[in-house]
Amino acid sequence: MASETQAPVSSCVDAGGGAIGMPQLCPDWMGNQIFWLVVTLVVIFLILSKVALPRIAAVLAERQGRITNDIAVAEDLRQKARDAEAAYEKALAEAKAEAGRIVAEAKDEMQAEMDVEIAKADAEIAAQAAESEKKIAEIREGALDAVKDVAMDTVPDIVAAMGGKADAKSVKTAVNERMKG
Predicted confidence band at 15 (pLDDT cuts at 50, 70, 90)?
Answer: confident
Predicted confidence band at 20 (pLDDT cuts at 50, 70, 90)?
Answer: confident
Handedness of CA 130, 136, 140, 146 (dihedral sign): positive
Degrees (nearest 5) of the Cα angle 25, 28, 34? Answer: 65
Give yes or no for residue 7 having a pLDDT over 70: no
Domain boundaries, the chain: 23-180
Residue 74 near residue 80, CB atoms below 8 Å: no
Predicted confidence band at 151 (pLDDT cuts at 50, 70, 90)?
Answer: confident
Q: What was the pLDDT predicted at 1?
A: 45
Q: What was the pLDDT predicted at 4?
A: 53
> Stretch 21-48: mean pLDDT, rounded?
88
Residue 13: strand, helix, or coil: strand
> Could you tell me the pTM of the whole model?
0.40
Q: Which residue has the higher pLDDT, 10 or 73?
A: 73
Torsion of CA 29, 35, 40, 42, to 10 degrees: 160
Q: What was the pLDDT predicted at 9?
A: 56
